[in-house]
Amino acid sequence: MSAPTSFIKRKAAASLLHSVRTAEAIGRPFNTFVTVSLWHLGLGPEDASRFFREVRERHFQRWSSYVPRGGTAPRNGAPTYAWVIEAPRELAHVHWMLHVRPGQERAFAAVLERWIARRMTLATIPEGIIEIARIGNAEGLKLYFAKGIDPHLAKLWRIRPVDSGLVHGRRVGTSRNLGPAEWQPRKAAYQRSRRRTAA
């Protein structure tokens, strides 16, 4: 088991903070906000990262990329998301913002419940464990996700830091299509255009 961390570090924070604009730039804006109260399922800070990795990689990514029989396009398209795990007072939970193709909202909500029930070997998930909402302000939501940032970076980036507890393993991340290989060239191109405009 990896050593616990107490805050979000620079590289992970940078990708998180660029994730909203990058998702919009590739045509897959964040429109769905999920919170899963892992502590209600008996999962602690040492279990949360591993558990949510399995949900993302073994279930969501396959579901999103699956091309239905007789179809030509994936069910939901390229998996596009950002997430953060918090455990204040050891109450582990995950926040997840992602793109769900219009028309797939009910299907996603149903399969998410089944995925978590299966991983926990439960017949059903008690009410209140999973909360799903539409995203109205993704830029504001990303700052909420980033509140567990290193306090020194928080001051530099004008984010109000909040103690988000110790978490074993990764505590924040984005889908591959929102990572540095995608957002860094876009940022560089934007900066070049600004310099040309100012010249």
80-118 pLDDT tens trace? 999 999 999 999 999 999 999 999 999 999 999 999 999
Q: Are 95 and 86 in contact (CB under 8 A)?
A: yes
Name the residue ranges covered by the structural domains of the chain.
4-198
For residue 58, give both structure tokens: 């073994």
58-67 pLDDT tens trace? 999 999 999 9
Pairing of strands 167-168, 81-86: unpaired
Alpha helices in the chain, H assignment, sequence order: 10-25, 48-54, 61-65, 105-119, 138-145, 151-156, 180-198
Tell me the pTM. Answer: 0.93
Cα–Cα distance, 81 to 85 (Å, whole number): 14
Cβ contacts of 59 within 8 Å, gap of 6 or more:
111, 115
Cβ contacts of 143 within 8 Å, gap of 6 or more:
159
Long-range contact list for 187-190, CB < 8 A, 24+ apart? 187/18
